[in-house]
Chain A
Amino acid sequence: MEVEHFYYDNRIVKKFALATMLFGLVGMLVGLTVALQFVFPQMTYGVDFLSFGRLRPLHTNAIIFAFVGNGIFTGVYYSLQRLLKARMFSDALSNIHFWGWQLIIASAAITLPLGLTSSKEYAELEWPIDIAITLIWVVFGVNMFGTLIKRRTRHIYVAIWFYIATWVTVAMLHIVNNLEMPVTLFKSYSLYAGVQDALVQWWYGHNAVAFFLTTPYLGLMYYFIPKVSNRPVFSYRLSIIHFWALIFIYIWAGPHHLLYTALPDWAQSLGTVFSIMLIAPSWGGMLNGLLTLRGAWDKVRESPVLKFMVVAVTAYGMSTFEGPMMSLRNVNAISHYTDWTIAHVHIGGLGWNGFLTFGMLYWLIPKMWNTNIWSMKLANFHFWIGTLAIMFWTLPMYWTGLTQSLMWKEFTPDGYLVYPNFLETVTQLAPMYAMRAFGGLLYLAGFIVMLYNMVKTMGAGSFVPEVAAEAAPLEKVFVKPAGESLHRIIERKPMAMLFWSFIAVAIGGAIEIIPTFLIESNVPTISAVQPYTPLELEGRDLYIREGCNNCHSQMVRPFRSETVRYGEYSKAGEFVYDHPFLWGSKRTGPDLHREGQGNQNAKSNLWHLNHFYNPEAISDGSIMPPYPWLITDQLNSSNIAAKINAMRKLGVPYPEGYDEIALEDLQFQAQMISDDIMNDPQGVEISSDREVIAIIAYLQRLGSDIHNAEEELPLK
């Protein structure tokens, strides 16, 4: 058959590669900033948009969706064309995808520091941006499947299966988790509440790690490691098992983020079992990557590209062993809410995603600029300083995590907490936080060295925008080989692959999610639990705006060490009106679920006011930043009617017509709080229209409803 001549499009690969480098720099700079805020809590004093609660989501979003996201697209656009011997389906779609994605990143970079957030981790962006993400994701999908359809190879290499599974699963996760009721252009409430919201969120959150940070990068691993080492993958057979087992099992493991919470026990156990099972495909994949280099380890000594990739795959192996271990209930009881989790994700982030991206860039940039790496020495330097940085970053955090947890749980022989003041467990960690920031600085330094090296490399070579290629087209009439197996058919049919991948992830997803729709029967209602008052609702929205949930959980686990410290453990029925849930995942500060009136830890309104003004003056050594703007800024309560109506539509039982008198109620309650603050013996004057009044109202309500219960409380 006659060969066809065509060109590979390097321009789009170049664009995504440059964006990867730019946003890597931005994401890591923000990361270093938030790390330094642990050491110097007042370093951004009074600047609301630079406070930790707002920057932390910016860091995670920038790294996941901007740095790694652009890294995925760089690798996919390069490898997809070559593996299929076809140019991308449409240059226009490629460009819409690129610019659309960067626009989404830019809008995230603006809205998150402004406090426009839905509060759900890694899904913080508000609803208009969620819709934009959906549209751009569809553009990417059309472009990818268009290319698959006009390909010139019969069989679809395993890397591309991972891309397909990534595409379909991310689409499903993104849509289901971001279903929300808009109130204004940049404010919405999650469709789900409490336990249900938590389960959907962590089904999403866990699989954002699985299908955004893992499967596409495994695809890149299956392409780039063989390509760079110039030898085929160790076992193609193993890669087939790796693929199906991984995508099938991963989707189930989400509930392991909610062990010992108010989530029903059977769902927690399901999460644990599937997490343990995940070790098998993960390690199969890791070994497959590493063993590809069998007999070629001498190349690793010479090539910084392979060095980065070997450490990346090793880090993948470490964190996929650690993850299942952390899903064991007894380990999770210690690790959860501590910095151990943060160390765990950074083995994955700095090691697996970071190093694989660096390896890919060190190989791609010289290739596309038709030259060699400008300085091998600098590349090797980057490798070593980066590896050292990972050590400096994670080791202090493991130490921190264990220290925190042990201090939280330690009792005296008489049965009292050894450290009843939470603050003692924070000040103890100061040196480790400083070391972590130093680790981050090293990692960033290595990255900047790479940027310099890449700029020099680009300067030394000349960019090749179009690469001429030739290949025979697929025969129109395909003669099916006799006795072809089902899987082999799937391997050459992209739509079948899409369909079966979707089935694989949907089974796990459905079984995990459907029972959460049974929530009415699963969650015992506590009749004493009432909807929030309008002022508390506004306060709750401020809590979300300031990202308080990044440092404070609202979930007292049923451990003696927690019930003694905080009070009654949290029940599922207490969260039925929480759209969205605010359980949090980290305790940099204490849990707040029993912070409200009627609980052992309840504080006066004045205490809260002073504490927001200057936490360190109240609690010596506190690393919570001051929130002076809450005291100076007026509460914007103009949307309260719309908010009440949105909540009513979501099933919160406000009486009919309540939206009309909500503002009146709000002002009345605010006046009561401001009067109370003034009438305190050490009282100060505070106008009732300040934001801080609303957030105090919310805090005073937290976990207090159960004290009004007359009947016996149901067990969870």
Chain B
Amino acid sequence: MLKFITGHMSTIDGVSIYPVISFIIFFVFFIAITYYVITMKKSYVDEVSHIPLDDDGTMESSEQLFSDEQ
């Protein structure tokens, strides 16, 4: 297995193209995300950003009922 890892890919030429390709991938991806974010609907953004604040489904004063002491 080790031979495969250390030897198999040693014939790749022009490896320096990798960073360029990945930069392009990243750049395009970044632009796409930015476009998506700008065009998000405000109502949706409000809804999602309130997820942690919404009553997390806890019932009022239920906490006491289940305490260890009882």
Residues of A within 8 A of B (CB): 7-8, 79, 82-83, 85, 152-153, 155, 157-159, 191, 196, 222-223, 226-227, 230-233, 236-238, 240-241, 244-245, 248-249, 266, 270, 370, 462-471, 485-488, 491, 507-508, 511, 514-515, 517-521, 649-651
Contacts and interface: CB of A to CB of B under 8 A. Distances in A.
A515 B63 contact: no
Contact of B50 (A8, A232, A650): A232
Contacts of B15: 514-515, 518
30 contacts: A82-B52, A82-B57, A155-B51, A157-B48, A157-B51, A191-B2, A191-B5, A223-B52, A231-B53, A236-B48, A237-B40, A240-B33, A244-B33, A248-B29, A248-B30, A249-B26, A270-B19, A464-B67, A465-B68, A467-B63, A468-B62, A468-B66, A469-B56, A470-B57, A485-B36, A491-B48, A507-B22, A514-B15, A518-B12, A651-B3
Given A464-B64, A486-B36, 7 more contacts: A159-B52, A232-B49, A232-B53, A266-B16, A471-B57, A521-B10, A651-B3
Contacts of A8: 56, 58
Interface string B1-43: 0110111111010011011011001100110011011111000
Given A241-B37, A517-B10, A7 B2 contact: no
B9 A370 contact: no
A463 B63 CA distance: 9
Contacts of B29: 244, 248
Interface of B: 2-3, 5-10, 12, 15-16, 18-19, 21-22, 25-26, 29-30, 33-34, 36-40, 44-53, 56-59, 62-69
A272 to B, nearest CB: 12
Nearest to A518: B10
B7 to A, nearest CB: 7
Contacts of B46: 232
Contacts of A244: 29-30, 33
A180 B41 CA distance: 50
Contact of B52 (A83, A266, A488, A508): A83
Decide if the interface of chain A is mainly helix, strand, loop or mixed.
helix
B5, B19, B25, B51 — which one has the most chain A CB atoms within 10 A of its CB? B51
Contact of B2 (A159, A370, A520, A650): A650
Contacts of A470: 57, 59
Contacts of A468: 58-59, 62, 65-66
Given A507-B22, A649-B2, A462 B69 contact: yes
A83, A226, A517 — which one has the most chain B CB atoms within 10 A of its CB? A517
Contact of A514 (B3, B18, B39, B50): B18
Contacts of B34: 241
A450 B33 CA distance: 42
A196 B66 CA distance: 56
Contact of A520 (B6, B33, B57): B6
A237 B45 contact: yes
Contacts of A515: 15, 18
Given A85-B57, A517-B6, A511 B68 contact: no
Q: List the 3 closest pairs (A to B, CB-CB), nearest first.
A: A469-B57, A82-B56, A232-B49
Contacts of B52: 79, 82-83, 157, 159, 222-223, 226-227, 232
A458 B25 CA distance: 51
A41 B62 CA distance: 57
Contacts of B63: 370, 464, 467
A83 B51 contact: yes
A538 to B, nearest CB: 23
A514 B56 contact: no
A511 B19 contact: yes
Nearest to A468: B62
Contacts of A155: 47-48, 51
A515 B12 CA distance: 9
B38, B48, B50, B62 — which one has the most chain A CB atoms within 10 A of its CB? B48
Contacts of A520: 6-7, 10
A487 B37 CA distance: 9
Contacts of A236: 45, 48-49
Nearest to B18: A511
Contact of A240 (B18, B37, B51): B37
Contacts of A83: 51-52, 56
A508 B22 contact: yes
Nearest to B3: A651
A266 B36 CA distance: 34
A235 B62 CA distance: 33
Nearest to A79: B52
A468 B67 CA distance: 11
Given A191-B2, A244-B29, A511-B19, A463 B68 contact: yes
Contacts of A463: 67-68
A581 B24 CA distance: 33
Contacts of A488: 44
A238 B48 CA distance: 13
Given A191-B2, A517-B6, A651-B6, A85 B68 contact: no
A651 B3 CA distance: 8
Given A487-B33, A511-B19, A227 B53 contact: yes
Contacts of B44: 488
Contacts of B62: 467-468
A507 B25 contact: yes
B58 A519 contact: no
B64 to A, nearest CB: 7
A223 B12 CA distance: 45
B22 A511 contact: yes
Nearest to A159: B52
Contacts of A266: 16, 19
B5 A517 contact: yes
Nearest to A85: B57
